[in-house]
Amino acid sequence: MDKKETTHFGFQRVAAEEKASKVAEVFDSVAGKYDLMNDLMSFGIHRLWKRFAINLAGVKAGNRVLDLAGGTGDLATRLSPLVGSQGQILLVDINAAMLGEGRKRLTDAGIIGNVAYVQADAEYLPFPDNTFDRITIAFGLRNVTHKDIALAAMYRTLKPGGCVLILEFSHPTVPALQQVYDLYSFKIMPLMGKLVAKDADSYRYLAESIRMHPDQETLRGMMEHAGFERCEYFNMTGGIVAAHRGYKL
């Protein structure tokens, strides 16, 4: 009898078919406090990371942009004025709770004309080939079960001449930073999760998922294997975060 495919869920090994539901449980739990925790955990620096990534994406007026794993709408909020009234942002997330938070946040901000919402899995994007001018995904790829399948789906739905921008936690490039980063990730983050979001376990998973994510060079290779060209990455905060960019030519 064939063995079931397994994958990592943080530092655990689980059946691949179970990972999506386990990740869903994490984000169901943290959705309401997600934005607050991002500010607290990054000391607000995540805003600078996202601003830099959006600049790299080179979004223009009239573009159609897929904001994948868009969650509570941080990127969509910034992208909406860039595409203007003739463009469109499609905010896509697999998790209904996160998508609901994003819709509420953007609606409260008066952003209603050029943003649409779709609940979908990054591995199985329900869009035709060559649909989007730009695809962005911020801090979402590490939670995808089959990253290679998701990258192939992004390539398929991107228009020729378009680019994908992946913003994700990565691997520190400054050796002296690693020990401090580990202490913060495995001690401070779960404690903050317990005190603020009433959920230490979810934030322990998030810290573990960062360590299991491919490093900068490995992810670039995965993007190239999916078909993207001119792939490059830009380290921020000593490699704690990296922005990867690739083109469909």
CB 127 within 8 A of CB 59: no
CA–CA dist 55, 128 (Å, integer): 26
Amino acid identity for residue 38 in this structure:
N
In a domain, 192, yes or no: no
What pLDDT is attached to residue 161?
98
In a domain, 48, yes or no: yes
Token pair 């294997």 is at which residue?
225
In a domain, 227, yes or no: yes
Write the pLDDT tens digit of every residue in 145-170: 999 999 999 999 999 999 999 999 99
In a domain, 182, yes or no: no
- Residue 119 is part of which domain span? 20-173+204-247
8, burial (CB in 10 Å: exposed 0-12, middle 13-18, buried 19+): middle
What pLDDT is attached to residue 166?
98
Amino acid identity for residue 98 in this structure:
M
| pLDDT, mean over the chain | 93
In a domain, 51, yes or no: yes
Rg for the chain, CA atoms, rounded: 17
User: Taking residues 68-84, what's their average pLDDT?
Assistant: 96
What pLDDT is attached to residue 3?
64
- Judged against a pLDDT cut of 70, whether residue 1 lies above it is answered with no
Q: Interior CA angle at 151 toward 97 and 237, to 5°?
A: 75
In a domain, 196, yes or no: no
CB 78 within 8 A of CB 114: no
CB contact set of 125 (below 8 Å; sequence gap of 6+)? 66, 68, 92, 153, 154, 156, 157
In a domain, 180, yes or no: no
Both tokens of 10, joined, read 């943080």
Amino acid identity for residue 63 in this structure:
N
In a domain, 7, yes or no: no
CB 157 within 8 A of CB 132: yes
Q: Domain of 228: which CATH number?
A: 3.40.50.150
Write the pLDDT tens digit of every residue in 172-193: 998 888 888 888 888 988 888 8
Is pLDDT larger for residue 162 or for residue 44? 162
What pLDDT is attached to residue 85?
96
Q: How many domains does the chain have?
A: 1
